[in-house]
Amino acid sequence: MNVHSYQAPWGKTLRWMSALTVVLVLAVALPVVFKIQLAPVGWLVALLLPGAALFIVRGYALEPGVLAIRRLLWTTRLPLSGLSSAEVSPNVMRGSLRLFGNGGMFSITGLFRNRALGNYRAFVTDLTRTVVLRFPKRTIVISPENPERFVAEISSFALALPVFK
């Protein structure tokens, strides 16, 4: 089986957002944990870090007919059938509204909306390396280490697609 893998490097925004969030979560959670109090809010906040870590995007793989998004403990597989275009579009998430998901604690994942894309699903770690995958009924945004190479190679993994720029 022919598989092409891509790392999911963290951009500056994700590094800063993750660091800030970790500091804030620890500032709230550590006093509760060390006092061994069962304050429900403190324990819930303490569980945010390991919970968010589970959804880290570690990388992407192009497999025949499938985009595999590698997480910490599992892989999300998205079929490429019906893919109508793939294009490198840096900062395409600018001005987005998060409808559901994670906006910067170890990854930017979930459902988002903006004027340029409408509703879309994101699996992003670097806002400056974004690639937009358009399907008839959905749009997906990812951020592979080499967006141009990813777009050039995706046609060989999707069913009978031309190369998109």
Which of 16-30, 31-45, 112-126, 128-142 shows the lowest mean pLDDT across its residues? 31-45
42: region left, alpha or beta (phi > 0 left; psi from -120 to 50 alpha): alpha
Distance CA 122, CA 129 (A): 13
Q: How far is CA 121 from CA 88, 98, 139, 144, in A?
A: 16, 10, 6, 15
Calculate the CA 17 to chain-centre distance: 14
pLDDT at res. 50: 81
List, for residues 85-104, the tens digit of each pLDDT value: 999 999 999 999 999 988 88
Task: Report pTM.
Answer: 0.84
Distance CA 133, CA 142 (A): 8
List, for residues 7-32, the tens digit of each pLDDT value: 898 999 888 988 888 888 777 766 66
- Using 50, 70 and 90 to split pLDDT, how confident is the model at 49? confident
pLDDT at res. 93: 95
Q: What is the residue-averaged pLDDT of the chain?
A: 86
CB atoms within 10 A of CB 68: 16
